[in-house]
Amino acid sequence: MTADQTAAAETADETPDTPGFEDLGITGPVLKAVRELGYETPSPIQSATIPTLLSGRDVVGMAQTGTGKTAAFALPVLERLEVSQKSPQALVLAPTRELALQVCEAFESYASKMKGVHVLPVYGGQGYGVQLSALRRGVHVVVGTPGRIMDHLAKGTLDLSELKYLVLDEADEMLKMGFAEDVEQILAQTPEEKQVALFSATMPAAIRRLAQQYLRDPEEISIKSKTATGTNITQRYLVVSYAQKVDALTRILEVENFDGMIVFVRTKNETETLAEKLRARGYSAAAINGDVAQVQRERSVNQLKDGKLDILVATDVAARGLDVERISHVINFDIPTDTESYVHRIGRTGRAGRSGDAISFITPRERYLLKHIEKATRQQPTQMQLPTTEDVNSTRLARFDDAITAALQETHRIEGFRDIVAHYVRNHDVPEADVAAALAVVAQGETPLLIDPQSDALARAVERDNRPPRERTDRDRPERDARAPRRGRGDYAPYRIEVGRRHRVEPRQIVGALANEGGLGRDDFGAITIRPDFSIVELPANLDPSVLDKLRDTRVSGRLIEIKPDRAPGRRSGGARDAGERGGYQRRDHDERSGSDRGDRPYRKPRHRD
């Protein structure tokens, strides 16, 4: 970094008199949207980056998650966007679909006052039809994960020939996840005359080489995060897979002593979906998002204040500025990758000097965010355990007791029913205790009052998710009939996909595609054996059916993989956990190979390097 660049970075980080967004060059509808969102003073990364990008110069931004970098690159892109051009003008690459969705939503918020601007998220787990239709209609900004972007480029469904702006967000995470080659191939397929912005929390040698090769005389900007949160807020987290989040939330609601609550989700659609699921389970919940009319939003907030509503399911934008003393808990159903958003979210509780609780759901592949949160809040969130069946059953029994006690106090109604019960006892010769039990069955309906600990699959699954990979043992394997044949060693099972060596597929492509489409992490992959016409991939033996459904429409090298369990007789499958932990695609011993061809040798996942 040159002396003037260092001075600029230090000035951006330390000068108290930060200019407004209009002083940075943001104008018109973009400025109007920013003001309506409640943004008043640009963050240091925004103050340093926005003028540089508006001037047309490439940028290397070294900033922690949570410093406001999304607006730092999104606002300049939108400021110079040509709405009349329907082919993609800006491409943002993000390491995970979660971050891609968050960046996409941010773009939509900043473009809310612009007419005809279309932003498209391109990530695994979403059907190709939606993405293809949007691309045919025309989009201005594409935000996506490297794997799915590569797939569209291979099929010719994404045209980057008129691209003007390219952003690499959290570049160090992309490289850690094994996307280095994909990123370079994507960069190679973009026009030479384009502006590039690269953001990374760290600057390892690989990132430095990438910047030197693909950026032209970039200005380097380094920002330190100074975010912190109140000590009166207790921060906890639970590691839980996406498919189990609703059940885990329901169990926490059963045992947690809360007053009012906000549950934060990532998208507008999810607010409605989750609120509906909570209402179906007996909770008074309402959704607020950017599409909810102001009158309805105010009504829901007032109901929360008055105790007529207990839970608000909200997006970041909808909850901005929300101040309700009654909120005792904030649940991050979807954890934000931006720690600034995290701090704003949990700040909705612990108001007016009261204590507050913040609970975050973190999927196994989002564990890395805990370090960002700890650094930003200067507090270490405590790992919590899913409430046990004993906890839930104890709570349910206590509530059942309270309901009986309350009913006994309504003496005028009790008298009438006492005569009815006595009449039944006389005519049917049944003990009163049995009649009372039968009436409880009628009142409870088909849903059992208590959970059977022996059938608590949720607790077992969440327990496995909460254990670090190195601490998982053979006891964590899914239960199976002792007489049933093993499908794989360790806790993996083999799956067949219809793409192989003749389709020029490599292990990294398989890992990238399946990880993005199914929300899988690095530790979810065992051995990968590539055959001429198909491949065998080891995935968790307890793979959730919903994940398998998502993977059925996955394409690798432009070919539908048609994934299914591999039940070929005599098939041997590796999956030893210790090899998976060491990292690196390891060859198996000679007697475990199937076939002598070099391409038939199984591989192990790439070694994880910081």
- Position 276 pLDDT exceeds 90: yes
198 touches 61 (CB < 8 A)? yes
Question: What mean pLDDT is predicted for residues 507-523?
Answer: 77
| Alpha helices for 111-204 (secondary structure H) | 128-137, 146-155, 171-176, 180-188
**Angle formed by the axes of helices 268-280 and 245-255, nearest 10°:** 50
Write out pLDDT tens, residues 443-460.
766 666 666 666 566 766
567 touches 586 (CB < 8 A)? no
Question: What mean pLDDT is predicted for residues 393-412?
Answer: 75
The pLDDT assigned to 14 comes to: 39
**How would residue 368 be classed by pLDDT, with cut points 50, 70 and 90?**
confident
- Position 295 pLDDT exceeds 60: yes
Write out pLDDT tens, residues 209-258.
888 888 999 999 987 655 555 568 899 999 998 888 998 999 899 888 88
| Measured distance CA(502)–CA(300) in Å, rounded | 58
**Mean pLDDT of the residues in the chain:** 78
265 touches 311 (CB < 8 A)? no
How many helices (DSSP H) and strands (DSSP E) are in the chain? 24, 21
- Of the candidates 438, 435, 439, the residue with the CA atom closest to the CA atom of residue 407: 439
Q: Domain 478-603, CATH 3.30.2010.30 — does that match?
A: no
CATH among 3.90.25.10, 1.10.3720.10, 3.10.105.10, 3.40.50.300 for 233-384 = 3.40.50.300
- Of the candidates 174, 235, 518, 460, the residue with the CA atom closest to the CA atom of residue 370: 235
| Measured distance CA(597)–CA(480) in Å, rounded | 35
Write out pLDDT tens, residues 60-82.
998 766 567 889 999 999 999 99
**How would residue 99 be classed by pLDDT, with cut points 50, 70 and 90?**
confident
- Of the candidates 225, 228, 221, the residue with the CA atom closest to the CA atom of residue 10: 221
For the chain, the domains span 3-223, 233-384, 387-466, 478-603
Binning the chain into helix, strand and coil, the percentages to the nearest 5 are 45, 15, 40
- Of the candidates 128, 177, 181, the residue with the CA atom closest to the CA atom of residue 157: 128
Same fold for the pair 3-223 and 233-384: yes
| Measured distance CA(513)–CA(200) in Å, rounded | 23
CB atoms within 10 A of CB 297: 20
- Of the candidates 104, 215, 88, the residue with the CA atom closest to the CA atom of residue 160: 88
HEC string for 220-267: EEEECCCCCCCCCEEEEEEECCHHHHHHHHHHHHHHCCCCEEEEECCC
Beta strands at 119-122 and 165-168: parallel, antiparallel or unpaired: unpaired
362 touches 237 (CB < 8 A)? yes
Task: Identify which of 15-19, 279-283, 347-351 has the greatest average pLDDT.
Answer: 279-283
Whole-Å CA distances, 286 to 304, 311, 519: 9, 7, 28
Query: Residue 497 pairs with which residues in a beta bridge?
Result: 535
- Position 190 pLDDT exceeds 90: yes
CA-based end-to-end distance of the chain: 23
Residue 384 tokens, joined:
């919590």
Q: Domain 3-223, CATH 3.40.50.300 — does that match?
A: yes
285 touches 312 (CB < 8 A)? yes
* Element (DSSP H or E) covering residue 359: strand 356-362
Under DSSP, is residue 567 helix (H, G, I), strand (E, B) or coil? coil
Beta strands at 260-264 and 285-288: parallel, antiparallel or unpaired: unpaired
DSSP labels, 43-67: -HHHHHHHHHHHTT--EEEEE-TTS
Q: Comparing 108-122, 240-254, 417-431, which segment has the lowest mean pLDDT?
A: 417-431
